[in-house]
Chains A and B, each alone.
Chain A
Amino acid sequence: MIPMRPKNILLSLILTLGLLTPALRADTAIDTNTLATLAVQDHGRKKPFTTFAQEELLTMAGTSKLPRSSVSGSNAAPLSAEQVMLDLWLKPEGWDQRPLIMVTFRALKQKLGLPLETDRKLFTYDELIRNPAFNALLDQTQKVRQAGDADKLTSLQKEAEHLGERLRLFQDCVNGAKETIVPHPSEPNGTWLPIQNLGTVGSSTWPPVEQKERYYVSSDSRAQAAGNAFTVWAEAYRNGDIAKFNQATPELVQALSSLSPTVYPTAGSLQFEHTYMQVHPFRKAWIVYFLAILVLLFTAIWQRTAGYRLTWLLVLAGLGLEAYGFFCRIIISGRPPVTDLYETVIWVSFVAMVIAVILESVYRKRHFFYAGIPASILTLIIADSQPTILDASINPLTAVLRNNMWLTIHVLTIVSSYAAFVLTAALGHFALVLSLWGKRYAAAQDDVQYFIYRAMQIGVLLLATGTILGGVWANYSWGRFWGWDPKETWALITLLCYLALLHGRLAGWWRGYGLAIGSVVCFLSVLMSWYGVNFILGQNGRSLHSYGLSTGGLSYATGFAAFEVVFVIFVLMWNRKRLATITS
């Protein structure tokens, strides 16, 4: 945990000194392209400083841009993540008095006596670290952990721990421990150190943390050069001379890189990642898809052919953007892109669109676009708008997922089947909405019901193959084919649900309309195996598959499930009533 009662004396000293706080000069902007070539080792990989800044600010404040209003009350442009993180590192004076640390959990706010308005989610380091209720809560949490009852922690206690981690992150950013920019002298996977460990930087008051480990001796001319370059760079920033700071960045990077040229990542690879972060391909993709669905809707009657062609063009452009995004993530991480919840969500949007495009190219009836494009937009917007639940940062693969091509195929196949079921459910919604008008859209309804079947086939094939491949793979590598692990059991339940749906149709229990209802209902089982197993069942960590998932979003998921149930009941009742009026 973080040091609570004994305030970190040096830290508070620095923060309250407030000696040099010149207003940010807005005329010269930080050159992020150059800043990106400064590498930081963080969360198991080396990344551009710009990525580091965005990810850490996201963790601390739940946003990648800090609204200026929360800082000074003016309406100026928001502070970029780079500005905030550089400030915390090089010019932290006064930041403990500014709202920067996220507290959103309502019960925690209540406990800490913080204002409960939902739009107030940022609080100052100072008000949190001094909060006696928070300290008491952490003490309590600590006692539970010491008693060995970590799985009995309440969600309030867990949230308090997370807040503690955010405060600790703040401290580490301020005292420089987080900004590990000194490369390991020889090993590509060696631990990098903060600049103060270079041994050639600093005075009696700064940096505040004593060096504990050294890679380079102070007499080393390269270490001296790097130390000097850092001093010039940091001084320029402290003095608000951004132009000079921008000029000093390449010199600092050059000096650090020459400490260990083989270990230091190339400027090209760092800028590649920076470009990916700047482009936001997955955000642009949903905007393009949005245009596509608008074009498709507006040309439903007028200019059908031209509109359809334009839609195709826009859809392919959107797919291209997503493909570029996946290409970047694969190159940056050096692994397949389906390891955390965020990546599965964007992968689902991508594959759902790919399947829609393939089937649309076969049937050319617009229906796959009517269903597939909104589904893809929805998943991408979810991924884009919930950065604290769906963490977009690129992290190394956990050990259980390594070394095996079959495992990669297993995961990709399963998640792709979810995509097919997303498309199926979207078509199901489409068919059910059409059914509300009775016979008026009977032909379209017939087509869509058949398309539901086509899409569902793809899903069933992928899910059956993925689940069985998982079994074969597990038998080979873990020693059992099937272990009734919650995640694999739910994959099986999902498969059984869809199989029952298909066999029930064959048995004549229902037809196209029932298939449409079923495609929506069965999707709830997909939701359960995709999300619910880890968040509803998996709290005790009994699943082998519970890697890489963060917390949160449960209310959204249950809300969605409830909406779906209500929607299906509404459709059933509406159609029954209409049938009754027709027959009478």
Chain B
Amino acid sequence: MWTAIHILGSLNLAVILLITIAGAIAFATVMESKFDTPVAAYYIYDAVWFDFWLLALGLNLFCAAFTRWPWQRKHVGFVATHAGIITLLIGAVIGKTFGFEAFVTLDKTKGPENRLFTKQNILTVETANGARWQMPINLQVHPPTQKRPLILPIEGSANRLVVDRVSESLAPDDTLVASADLAAPGGIALRFLNAGMSQDVPANFTMTDEGRTFDFFGMAKVNLVDQLPEDQPIALPPAAAPAPAAPRNDTPFRETQVVFAGSPPILDTDSDVPSGYSFKILAAKSMQDLKIEAADPDGHVRTWPLHELETKWASMNGADDPIHFRVAKFWPDFAMKNGAPVSLSDKPDHPAVLVQVTGPSRLLPPAPAQPAAAPPPMPKGLVMRVALAKEPGKIVYELEREGKIEARGVAAEGDTIRLGWSKWVAKVQAVVPHAELHREVKEFAGKVTPMMAGSLRTGIHAHLVASDGASGPAEWIPGGTARELFSGRDFLVRVGFGQKVIPLAFNISLEDFKVPRDEGTDTPSDFISKVRFDDPATGQVVHDTAHMNSPAMFPGDTWRSLLGWNYKFSQANWDPQNLNQTTLQVLYDPGWPFKWIGSIGICCGIALMFYFMPKRSARERREDDSNAT
């Protein structure tokens, strides 16, 4: 027994363990920088062998402490240090087992939250007989492939679930289909096409709240309405013949361009004569450095800082130039979300701008002498309204510009509607009397354009295999959804894929969110979230503030704080475009007391060992040294 303890607690073993652990984690940091964090975590930090190695170190420390038994006064520092490390390791194990780390996104304008999301991906499987279970899956290090699929047995049956692909670019492929439900309202599928730019924007409309409107990149609104006067058609005024020879000053125009960094612009002009101006976003690392390069039809090129064009009208050739332009809207990280343009972050990763160009017009007063003094008015926007016609398979449409109805007419499925929005036309893809939106997804293979980036999701591709090897149809299951899978042999399961959710017994709501900045810059100096906790069971209400490096706590008294029986909310993420919203990281860690007690033990122990040992003379020192050899 004592021999074993002496071997396990030997200094030789200690040095070997110290050196090997140092080597392994040094290798892990190199791996992390060469590959990825999850790879390093999988092979080293979170690997079972590494846990065993740490366990071995713990055992070594434990035995080492016992080899000095019976302890004397001079051993206090030594025992405190080693016991401290063991306590710390125990705290880590308790924290990992019984605690959790999760996230919650709060919005000032929305109601309270009582669910937390973790970063752990899980599969939820539900069989027809009501059995339901969850399992974590790791998709980052070895994502399942067709060659190496993830095969999971389904309890209580001989069927197996096969996950054979993971995709991070699942794009919604919504189609309007006829509903079996005859009470379902009708729907219209349109496609906006711009032949010159080879752009194709689908838009589906149903009578549901979110299915009624479509925001055409902030330039136009398309609405589905209940009905439109079918019998009063208005013809769209014919497009003016292109007049390139006409002096520019005499050609009235008001033009809007949505300019992307990566893809061709979306153009609209009120006269069908493009201004001939083109704009380019010159990318940069920070928002302040973004520039807009403008080129006029004569080939002159000039560049402005973006922020300058946001605050004033500019012109190519000084005050005498009658053509002015400005940036009316700016999305640093452009994406289409729920049919509306948004910015995903404040990083100029996919910058897009809406540029307005205007020149003298018969409708407008002559060009102002001081461009900054009186900016000329711009079109108030374009509206398209559509409704189902009385005759099946047809729709009624109406086009409006600045509050004036320009065109109205009836179009049948397959027809193309001229819009007068530059080169854009709308094609009536489908008219369905009783419609439902079939929300399919497909893996997007081509280059991800900024317009799509916001709508892409991660998901898995799965199918069922019956005991006799018969394979059911495969489905993509995007994150946060569930799909029913058939084995082809009368067996059905419902498979959900998403992040693990942790329900809370109390509610959290965001009362205020503030981001103060360093003076004269956009650099945040702090993030301040005022939150309110309420526990419906006890009626307890607590107000607290989470700011950078200082978390909010619930329930939050001193004892609970010390023991870790507390939920801690600290700043994790924010959306620079939406300051109503903040994401907090939530920690619950019952291992906390072990961690801080262990930490104090280590620090005090080392100090005791080094500085509060009985004094030895130089001679004793030398003798000690020679004894050791």
CB of B519 within 8 A of CB of A189, answer yes
A12: CB under 8 A from chain B? no
Partner of B520, one of A2, A191, A533: A191
CB of A450 within 8 A of CB of B621, answer yes
Interface string of B28-64 (1 = CB under 8 A from A): 1110110001001100010000000000000000000
CB of B303 within 8 A of CB of A507, answer no
Q: Contacts A6-B303, A464-B602, A477-B550 given: A540-B628 contact, CB under 8 Å?
A: no
Partner of A479, one of B518, B568, B603: B568
CB of A500 within 8 A of CB of B549, answer no
Q: Contacts A180-B520, A493-B22 given: A400-B548 contact, CB under 8 Å?
A: yes
What residues on B are CB-neighbors of A481 within 8 Å?
Answer: 91-92, 95, 595
What residues on A are CB-neighbors of B517 within 8 Å?
Answer: 189
Partner of B606, one of A1, A5, A460: A460
CB of A482 within 8 A of CB of B283, answer no
CB of A145 within 8 A of CB of B283, answer yes
Chain B: residues with Cβ within 8 Å of the partner, total of: 82
What residues on B are CB-neighbors of A1 within 8 Å?
Answer: 282-284, 289, 291
A395, closest chain B residue (CB) = B518
CB of A537 within 8 A of CB of B625, answer no
What residues on A are CB-neighbors of B523 within 8 Å?
Answer: 44, 396, 398-399
Chain A contact patch, size range:
35 or more
Q: Contacts A480-B101, A507-B628, A537-B29 given: A148-B549 contact, CB under 8 Å?
A: no
CB of B282 within 8 A of CB of A507, answer no
CB distance from B149 to the nearest CB of A (A): 30
Q: Using a CB-CB cutoff of 8 Å, which residues 253-288 of chain B contact chain A?
A: 261-262, 282-285
Q: In this complex, which of B30, B45, B283, B595 has the most chain A Cβ atoms within 10 angstroms of its Cβ?
A: B283
CB of B603 within 8 A of CB of A468, answer yes
What residues on B are CB-neighbors of A142 within 8 Å?
Answer: 282-283
CB distance from A111 to the nearest CB of B (A): 20
B401: CB under 8 A from chain A? no
CB of A472 within 8 A of CB of B599, answer yes
CB of A46 within 8 A of CB of B519, answer yes
Complex Cα spacing A464 to B589, Å: 23
B568, closest chain A residue (CB) = A479
Complex Cα spacing A4 to B301, Å: 10
B19: CB under 8 A from chain A? yes
CB of B570 within 8 A of CB of A478, answer yes
Complex Cα spacing A13 to B347, Å: 34
Partner of A457, one of B92, B587, B610: B610
Partner of B548, one of A402, A458, A496: A402
Complex Cα spacing A505 to B311, Å: 69
Interface string of B368-382 (1 = CB under 8 A from A): 000010000000000
What residues on A are CB-neighbors of B586 within 8 Å?
Answer: 479
B308: CB under 8 A from chain A? yes
B40, closest chain A residue (CB) = A484
| 9-residue interface stretch from A62-70, A225-233, A508-516 | A508-516
Partner of B11, one of A180, A446, A507: A507
A144, closest chain B residue (CB) = B283
CB of A192 within 8 A of CB of B599, answer no
Q: Using a CB-CB cutoff of 8 Å, which residues 375-427 of chain A contact chain B?
A: 396, 398-404, 407
What residues on A are CB-neighbors of B293 within 8 Å?
Answer: 3, 6
Complex Cα spacing A539 to B568, Å: 31
CB of B33 within 8 A of CB of A471, answer no
Complex Cα spacing A44 to B21, Å: 43
CB distance from B92 to the nearest CB of A (A): 7
Q: Using a CB-CB cutoff of 8 Å, which residues 462-497 of chain A contact chain B?
A: 464-465, 468-469, 471-472, 475-482, 484, 486, 489-490, 492-493, 496-497
CB of B589 within 8 A of CB of A475, answer yes
Q: In this complex, which of A401, A469, A496, A537 has the most chain B Cβ atoms within 10 angstroms of its Cβ?
A: A496
CB distance from B44 to the nearest CB of A (A): 8
What residues on A are CB-neighbors of B40 within 8 Å?
Answer: 484
CB distance from A203 to the nearest CB of B (A): 15
What residues on A are CB-neighbors of B592 within 8 Å?
Answer: 475
Q: Using a CB-CB cutoff of 8 Å, which residues 406-457 of chain A contact chain B?
A: 407, 446, 450, 457
CB of B550 within 8 A of CB of A506, answer no
CB of A507 within 8 A of CB of B15, answer yes
CB distance from A180 to the nearest CB of B (A): 7
CB distance from A139 to the nearest CB of B (A): 9
A5, closest chain B residue (CB) = B301
Q: Contacts A480-B101, A496-B22, A503-B15 given: A511-B585 contact, CB under 8 Å?
A: no
What residues on B are CB-neighbors of A461 within 8 Å?
Answer: 603, 606-607, 610
Partner of A212, one of B88, B282, B308, B521: B308
What residues on A are CB-neighbors of B19 within 8 Å?
Answer: 496, 500
What residues on A are CB-neighbors of B28 within 8 Å?
Answer: 484, 489
CB of A537 within 8 A of CB of B11, answer no
B436: CB under 8 A from chain A? no
Complex Cα spacing A165 to B88, Å: 48
Partner of B349, one of A3, A148, A161, A210: A148
Complex Cα spacing A213 to B21, Å: 59
A146: CB under 8 A from chain B? yes
B14: CB under 8 A from chain A? yes
A-B contact pairs, 28 of them (CB 8 A): A1-B282, A41-B520, A44-B521, A45-B518, A146-B283, A212-B308, A396-B518, A399-B525, A401-B549, A450-B621, A457-B610, A460-B606, A461-B607, A465-B606, A469-B603, A475-B587, A475-B596, A477-B549, A481-B595, A482-B92, A484-B28, A486-B29, A489-B25, A512-B625, A536-B33, A539-B33, A540-B33, A542-B32
Q: Give 10 nearest A-B pairs by CB, closest first.
A: A479-B587, A3-B303, A507-B11, A44-B518, A496-B22, A508-B628, A189-B519, A500-B18, A537-B33, A404-B549
| Known contacts A142-B283, A403-B547, A475-B592, then 5 further A-B pairs from the complex at CB < 8 Å, ordered by chain A residue | A399-B526, A402-B525, A450-B621, A484-B45, A507-B15
* Residues of A participating in the B interface, judged by any CB pair closer than 8 Å: 1-6, 8-9, 41-46, 142, 145-148, 150, 161, 165, 168, 180, 188-192, 210, 212-213, 396, 398-404, 407, 446, 450, 457-458, 460-461, 464-465, 468-469, 471-472, 475-482, 484, 486, 489-490, 492-493, 496-497, 499-500, 503-509, 511-512, 533, 536-540, 542
